[in-house]
Amino acid sequence: MNISAYLLSELEKEAQTTRRVLERVPPDKLHWKPHEKSMSLGQLAQHVASTPGGIARSAIPDSYAVENFTPDPDPANTEEILQAHQSSMETARSFLAGLTEAKAMEPWSMTAGGAPILTMPRIEWVRIYMLNHWYHHRGQLSVYLRELNVPVPAMYGPSADEN
């Protein structure tokens, strides 16, 4: 299995799990925060929904300027979050389908003011930020759901609410 097929397989499995978590986000609690320093439920859900596509877009060129980053908008409802997830997955799938082994190993940089602040193989950016970062925030979102007494879906095995 080549690198593109491997990453696409992982993305597809995790996208299904992520969608199940996002479907549980209660629309009447989008502004809820567990702490004043935390993102709101809606902001976090939107971030989880859009991370793979955003990272894919940033990984297409050989560098990405942090000045181009724009935070995810606050969603108006759960359907908007699910639509963002669908769009994000389409972008991520397209990027990964075209990722060759050679392109994956090429240096990729994040820049600020035109100067590199971070350089790594493109595949490292994809693994750490598209996937691991995504899973981290999905786990965070599951804790938000638990705090709101929303049943948490099974992810890598049964949850306290599903088996």
- Coil, strand or helix: which one is 13? helix
Question: What local confidence, expressed as pLDDT, does residue 64 receive?
Answer: 96
Q: How many domains does the chain have?
A: 1
% of residues, the chain, pLDDT over 70: 100
Residue 104 has pLDDT above 90, yes or no: yes
The reply to whether the predicted model has a pTM over 0.85 is: yes
**CA-to-CA dists, residue 87 to 50, 54, 97, 105, angstroms:** 8, 10, 15, 26
155 located within any domain: no
Residue 72 has pLDDT above 90, yes or no: no
**CA torsion through residues 139, 11, 84, 21, sign:** negative
Mean pLDDT of 103-121: 96
CATH number at residue 75: 1.20.120.450
159 located within any domain: no
Question: What local confidence, expressed as pLDDT, does residue 71 receive?
Answer: 86
57 located within any domain: yes
17 located within any domain: yes
Residue 1 has pLDDT above 80, yes or no: no
48 located within any domain: yes
Mean pLDDT of 79-99: 97
Question: What local confidence, expressed as pLDDT, does residue 163 receive?
Answer: 82
Mean pLDDT of 98-120: 96
161 located within any domain: no
Mean pLDDT of 112-116: 95
Chain-centroid distance, C-alpha 71: 13
Mean pLDDT of 139-143: 98
154 located within any domain: no
Question: What local confidence, expressed as pLDDT, does residue 73 receive?
Answer: 85
Beta pairing partners, 121: 107
* Residue 57 lies in domain: 3-147
Pick the closest to residue 32 from 71, 72, 74 (CA basis): 74
30 located within any domain: yes
Question: What local confidence, expressed as pLDDT, does residue 95 receive?
Answer: 97
Question: What local confidence, expressed as pLDDT, does residue 148 receive?
Answer: 98
